[in-house]
Amino acid sequence: MTQAELAEKAGVSRQTINAIEKGKFDPSLPLAFRFSQLFKLQIEEIFQFEE
C-alpha cells in the first residue's frame, strides 16, 4: 500500500503518513485506532512507546 492509499483510507494527508513513518509526528489516539482497524492489528503492534 502506498502512502497516498493509506492516507486516503485513514482520512489524512500523505504528508501526515510520511511524518509518522519518519518519527516526526505522533498520531492522535483516534488516528492510531483507525490504523489499528485498517491493518487489523493491536495499536501496540503498530506503534512502540518510547520515552
Report pLDDT digits (tens) over 26-43.
Answer: 999 999 999 999 999 999
Domains and CATH numbers, the chain: 3-42 (1.10.260.40)
Give pTM, 2 decimals. 0.83
Question: How many angstroms separate the CA atoms of 37 and 51, rounded?
Answer: 25
Question: How many angstroms separate the CA atoms of 46 and 41, rounded?
Answer: 7
**What was the pLDDT predicted at 48?**
83
Question: How many angstroms separate the CA atoms of 14 and 44, rounded?
Answer: 22
Residues 6+ apart with CB under 8 A from 36: 42, 43, 46
